[in-house]
Structure 1
Amino acid sequence: MTRASLTTLLVLAGLWSAAANAGDAVKGKEKSAACAACHGADGNSAAPDFPKLAGQHADYLVRALTDYKAGKRKNPIMMGMAAPLSKQDMADLAAYYSAQKGLVIVKR
């Protein structure tokens, strides 16, 4: 195999991997029912005790869920909620919430 062929193969494998791990917002919405109780149906929680998820960066949301599942972030409720989630579940939820309109901060 030539160096160019190997490089092309590695690039294609990387693109396939990224596509395989991409979240699906439609599936994320379907999976978000349990989240809605605290974070609101669209991720805009009305309660100040629960963070707004709408409009957050997807990679941040995946990281937060991953850390709750691994016990790196300590919150008994969120650790329990994240425990059964697969990587694809997390990516789907993150895709859904990141696509929602979130808090808009007006700079003066």
Structure 2
Amino acid sequence: MMNKTAFIALAVLVGMSSAHAGDAAKGKEKSAACAACHGADGNSPAPAFPRIGGQHEDYLLQALQQYKKGSRKNAIMAAQVGALSNSDMADLAAYFASQAGPLVTRR
């Protein structure tokens, strides 16, 4: 019985992670508010704001979800993600993950 329960729990987790696959093109359309602090490509020149371009998509999605739930604390980010759906957050994560990071040069 325990193995069956563990298998079901694993299947649910796998299903949840694939349900959040984002669309980078849609994320770019939704990223205008993010650009004010993080820069258009997620590589803010201002040291006060994290560079999110090139980060792992799952990390970015998890961070956005945590800001929305309140388990990650930042008043500005909490306000920014308040109205975002899971799909919006997945799209934004996909977009910023597709950008070059601060240590990667584009050719």
Equivalent in the alignment of 2:86: 87
SS in 1 for 2:92: helix
**What TM-score, normalized to structure 2?**
0.79
TM-score of the aligned structures, taking structure 1 as reference length:
0.78
Per the alignment, residue 23 of structure 1 pairs with: 22
Whole-angstrom distance in 2 between the partners of 1:40 and 1:103? 11
Q: Which consecutive segments of 4 or more residues in structure 1 shift more than 6 A? A: none
Q: Which position in structure 2 is the counterpart of 1:42? A: 41
Aligned length: 92
The alignment partner of 1:94 has SS state of helix
Q: Aligned-pair distance for 1:21?
A: 2.4
> What residue in structure 2 maps to residue 75 of structure 1?
74
CA distance in 2, matches of 1:66, 1:21: 11
Q: Whole-Å Cα distance in 2 between the matches of residues 63 and 101 of structure 1?
A: 20
Unaligned runs of 5+ in 2: 1-10
State the structure with more CA Rg.
1
Identity rate, percent: 63
Residues 41-87 of structure 1: CA deviation (Å, up to 9, x unaligned) = 11010100000010000000001000000011111000000111111
For the pair 1:32 / 2:36, whether they are aligned, the reply is no
In the TM superposition, residue 23 of structure 1 has moved relative to its aligned partner by 0.4
The answer to whether 1:99 aligns with 2:98 is yes
Deviation, 1:103, is 1.7
1:104, distance to aligned residue in structure 2 (A)? 1.6
Give the secondary structure class of the aligned counterpart of 2:87.
helix
Q: Structure 1: how far apart are the matches of 2:52 and 2:30?
A: 14
Using the alignment, how far apart are the partners of 2:62 and 2:99 within structure 1? 18
Question: Residues of 1 paired with 2:20 and 2:72: CA distance?
Answer: 22
* Aligned position for 1:4: none
Corresponding letter in the other structure for 1:50: F
- Looking at structure 1, the residues matched to 77 and 85 of structure 2 have their Cα atoms a distance apart, in angstroms, of 14
